[in-house]
Amino acid sequence: MHLAMMKPGQQGKIVHIGTAVGPIKRRLMDMGVLAGEPVRVEKVAPLGDPIEVTIKGYNLSLRKKEAEGIEVEVTP
């Protein structure tokens, strides 16, 4: 299960930042996207991409392509 598969309103926990590499991975980590971090999907943009999530108490938007590289497990 990866972040792009989560629906708006769903909550989860980051398991692993997988396929994203190099600058993208570093950028995500610098912005607090780290294994173990709780995350909640807030919205999908009107045109279907990107998505908006809450992490570490702030709102972050990222494309589905990047979100696909972030493995999550959904928490109820």
Task: Please report, as ranges, the residues that interact with other proteins according to CB under 8 A.
Answer: 17, 23-32, 34-35, 42-50, 52, 56-63, 66
Q: How far is the CB of 73 from other proteins (least distance, A)?
A: 18
For residue 22, give the 3-state DSSP assignment.
helix
To the nearest whole angstrom, how small is the minimum distance from the Cβ of residue 23 to other proteins? 4
Question: Distance of alpha carbon 12 from its chain centroid, rounded?
Answer: 9
Q: Of the two residues 1 and 43, which places its CB atom closer to other proteins in the complex?
A: 43
Give the nearest distance from C-beta 2 to other proteins in angstroms: 16
